[in-house]
Amino acid sequence: MYRSEKFPPPPLAVIEAFVASHAYAKILAAPLDRGPEATLIPYTLTGNLALEGDAVVEAHLVDGDPTLEALAANPRASVLVDELLSFIPHTVFDPMDGNRAMILFRSLLLSGRAEISDRPEEIGEGLERLIRRLEPGAPFDPVTVERYGSRVTRLRHVRIAIDHIDAKWKLAQDQPPEVRDQILAYLRARDLPIDRVTRPILLEYWSILGLDRSPA
- CA distance linking residue 17 with residue 23, whole number of Å: 11
123 against 4, higher pLDDT: 123
Record the pTM. 0.91
Query: For residue range 98-154, what is the model confidence (pLDDT) as tens digits?
Result: 999 999 999 999 999 999 999 999 999 999 999 999 999 999 999 999 999 999 999
Q: How much is the average pLDDT of 14-42?
A: 93
DSSP 91: G
Evaluate if residue 52 carries a pLDDT over 50.
yes
Average pLDDT over residues 184-206: 97
Model pLDDT, residue 214: 56
Which domains are seen in the chain, by residue range?
12-174 (2.30.110.10)
CB atoms within 10 A of CB 76: 15
Q: Give the integer Cα–Cα distance in Å for 69 and 74.
A: 9
Summarize pLDDT for 66-92 with one digit per residue, the tens.
999 999 999 999 999 999 999 999 999
According to the model, what pLDDT value does residue 1 have?
85
pLDDT at 63 over 70: yes
Q: Are 109 and 76 in contact (CB under 8 A)?
A: no
Task: Give me the pLDDT at residue 32, please.
Answer: 77
Task: Name the packing angle between helices 193-208 and 177-190 (round to 10°).
Answer: 160
Closest by alpha carbon to 148, among 127, 117, 129, 118?
127
Confidence of residue 216 (pLDDT cuts 50, 70, 90): very low
